[in-house]
Amino acid sequence: MPIRRHDALRPLSRDHHFALQLARGVQSTTSPTLRAQLPKEPRALADHVIRAFRDELEPHFVAEDEVLTAAILGKDAELDGVWREIEREHVEVRDLVAQLGDRSLEDARVEALLDRLGRLLEAHVRKEERSLFERIQEVLDEPTLARLGAELERRHPPRATAL
């Protein structure tokens, strides 16, 4: 069943579409179709991922870390629990991307890191969509959601070009 996403969270969900494509594309078991759109060599693929993270995903993480924390913490035990997991995963993803920046890594190690990052990022995005955002929509009232949406738009404006 497709998830009905509140307007306030829709820009973050659009970023998630991009993140999922990347996350699935770098996994070792990815389909040739997804891999075809990405650099072939492990080092080139790692550099692509590092750039994509810096330009697209890090601003998204920052918006979530700053805006969501302020809006949701302390309102609901389940929501707080999911949010703590999400925060930890943001740290793990950033750490894996930082490890990928080590240019002395052998190709096999780069591929292993990319696979780990891809799996983590895919599971992370799905958790945000299925658990975090769903619970946010259940717990926050309309005015709070509207304020959250406005604050997200101010801190993380939609990109001029489609991702």
CA distances from 83 to 30, 54, 68, 79, 90 (A): 29, 22, 9, 6, 10
C-alpha 133 chain-centroid distance: 13
Stretch that binds Fe ion, among 25-33, 49-57, 121-129, 153-161 (CB under 5 A): 121-129
Q: How far is the CB of 151 from Fe ion (least distance, A)?
A: 15
Q: How far is the CB of 39 from Fe ion (least distance, A)?
A: 24
CB closer to Fe ion, 42 vs 83: 83
Q: Are 8 and 152 in contact (CB under 8 A)?
A: yes
Q: How far is the CB of 125 from Fe ion (least distance, A)?
A: 6
Site for Fe ion, residues 125 to 154, rule: CB under 5 A: 128
CB closer to Fe ion, 128 vs 134: 128
Q: Are 152 and 11 in contact (CB under 8 A)?
A: yes
CB closer to Fe ion, 11 vs 42: 11
CB closer to Fe ion, 42 vs 128: 128
Site for Fe ion, residues 60 to 79, rule: CB under 5 A: none
Q: Are 151 and 49 in contact (CB under 8 A)?
A: no
Q: How far is the CB of 57 from Fe ion (least distance, A)?
A: 8
Residue nearest to Fe ion (CB): 128
Give dist(CA 33, CA 12) in Å, integer.
25
Q: How far is the CB of 83 from Fe ion (least distance, A)?
A: 12
Closest CA to 10 of 130, 146, 149, 138: 149
